[in-house]
């Protein structure tokens, strides 16, 4: 039995104004940094759910050892649909799924490893990292709970599912707020000291 990662990368990046998954980040792309972190944490079964900017994301990941799955309903903006698609595509030998945001390159190897370790040590149904009593990503769901996630119907969300299972959550307290961070707007992106998005076309031109 192993743990698989489902990376949710089907968003349309409307607030960013361009495909955020393929923006430069620490020598690779935003989505590339997420995948690299998962690999460094020891995960080998990685499934990426694509949607908006499908071709750009798939091109960015074409050389990575992972699986890609397209969510044809991405324009509806329901994260639950991408999660359901991912869960229904995992092998029978998967004991739990790590739910990862594709626009969260801030995640740390140590946090991913700690979430996985908590599952193997305590075998809870849910493991969620927490910073100052605020839960974040990535979180883990054991196989026995998957049918409930697969049965979610709009307007129900993964947050609604988690709220309904409060007593079954194993909260993992961490010392980093990286679990709460992601990238939604140009201001979010530039707050990390990265050059303004307006300069991207110029940079891409010179890098050829």
pLDDT tens by residue, 48-66 = 999 999 999 999 999 999 9
Residue 128, both tokens: 């969620």
* pLDDT on residue 42: 97
Torsion (CA) 43, 44, 45, 46 in degrees, nearest 10: 70
Q: Are strands 45-50 and 67-70 parallel, antiparallel or unpaired?
A: parallel
Helices 109-122, 30-40: inter-axial angle, 10-degree rounding: 40
**pLDDT at residue 198 above 60?**
no
Cα–Cα separations (whole angstroms), residue 19 to 93, 96, 142 = 34, 29, 31
Chain mean pLDDT for the chain? 91
Task: List phi, psi (to 5°) of 189.
Answer: -65, -45
Residue pair 109/37 in contact (Cβ under 8 Å)? The answer is: yes
How does residue 203 score in pLDDT terms, banded at 50, 70 and 90?
very low
pLDDT tens by residue, 120-149 = 999 999 999 999 999 999 999 999 999 999
How does residue 36 score in pLDDT terms, banded at 50, 70 and 90?
very high
**pLDDT at residue 67 above 90?**
yes
User: Coil, strand, or helix at residue 150?
Assistant: helix
Q: What is the mean pLDDT of residues 153-177?
A: 95
Residue 32: in which H helix or E strand, if any? helix 30-40
C-alpha 27 chain-centroid distance: 19
d(CA 126, CA 73): 27
Inter-residue long-range contacts of 184-193, CB under 8 Å, 24+ positions, other chains counted: 184/15, 184/16, 184/20, 184/103, 185/15, 185/16, 186/16, 186/17, 189/16, 189/20, 189/23
Q: What is the mean pLDDT of residues 161-182?
A: 96
**pLDDT at residue 77 above 70?**
yes
pLDDT tens by residue, 84-128 = 999 999 999 999 999 999 999 999 999 999 999 999 999 999 999
Query: Could you say which DSSP state residue 195 is in?
Result: P
For the segment(s) 2-192, the CATH number from 3.40.605.10, 3.90.550.10, 3.40.50.150, 3.40.50.720 is 3.90.550.10
Residue pair 86/47 in contact (Cβ under 8 Å)? The answer is: yes
Q: What is the mean pLDDT of residues 61-90?
A: 94
**pLDDT at residue 168 above 70?**
yes
C-alpha 14 chain-centroid distance: 18
* pLDDT on residue 182: 87
């Amino acid at each position: 039995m192993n743990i698989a990662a489902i990376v949710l990368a089907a968003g349309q990046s409307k607030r960013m104004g361009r495909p955020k998954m393929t923006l430069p980040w620490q020598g690779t792309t935003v989505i590339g940094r997420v995948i690299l972190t998962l690999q460094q944490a020891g995960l080998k079964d990685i499934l990426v759910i694509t949607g908006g900017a499908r071709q750009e994301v798939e091109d960015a990941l074409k050389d990575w050892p992972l699986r890609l799955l397209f969510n044809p309903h991405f324009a509806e903006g329901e994260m639950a649909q991408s999660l359901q698609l991912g869960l229904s595509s995992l092998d029978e030998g998967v004991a739990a799924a790590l739910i990862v945001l594709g626009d969260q390159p801030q995640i740390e190897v140590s946090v991913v490893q700690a979430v996985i370790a908590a599952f193997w040590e305590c075998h809870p149904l849910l493991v969620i990292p927490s910073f100052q009593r605020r839960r974040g990503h990535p979180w883990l769901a054991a196989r026995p709970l998957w049918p409930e996630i697969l049965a979610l119907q709009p307007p129900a969300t993964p947050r609604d599912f988690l709220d309904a299972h409060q007593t079954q959550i194993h909260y993992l307290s961490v010392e980093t707020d990286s679990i709460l961070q992601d990238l939604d707007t140009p201001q979010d992106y530039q707050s990390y000291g990265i050059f303004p998005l307006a300069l991207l076309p110029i940079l891409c031109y010179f890098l050829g």
